[in-house]
């Protein structure tokens, strides 16, 4: 079963390099994701990361 066909319209995502990304739509295929940060004191959006990312 290819989970990438099941777009979760509650999670928009443009990271096409992720294995969970829906190919034709800019959505995630997971039911939920984990968002975190690599910064000690995050101050802007680029400080945050999708921790559910998996390389294709
Ligand atoms: S796991 Fe994260 S990076 Fe991957 S498609 Fe879903 S939201 Fe995007």
| DSSP one-letter code for 23 | S
Cβ distance 13 to 26 under 8 Å?
A: yes
Any idea where the domains of the chain sit in the sequence? 3-50
Surface-to-core class of residue 18, CB atoms within 10 Å of its CB (0-12 exposed, 13-18 middle, 19+ buried): buried
What tokens were used for 46? Answer: 């680029």
pLDDT of residue 1: 40
Token readout for 27 is 């959505």
Q: In the structure, which protein residues have their CB atom closer than 6 angstroms to any atom of ligand 1?
A: 11, 13, 15, 18, 20-21, 28, 30, 33, 50, 52-53
Distance (Å) from CA 40 to ligand 1 centroid: 22
pTM, rounded to two decimals: 0.87
Q: What is the pLDDT of residues 27-53, one digit of tens each?
A: 999 999 999 999 999 999 999 999 999
């Amino acid at each position: 079963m290819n989970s990438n066909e099941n777009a979760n319209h509650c999670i928009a995502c443009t990271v096409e390099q992720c294995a969970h990304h829906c190919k034709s739509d800019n959505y995630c295929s997971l039911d939920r994701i984990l968002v975190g940060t690599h910064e000690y004191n995050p101050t802007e959006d680029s400080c945050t990361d999708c921790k559910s990312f998996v390389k294709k």
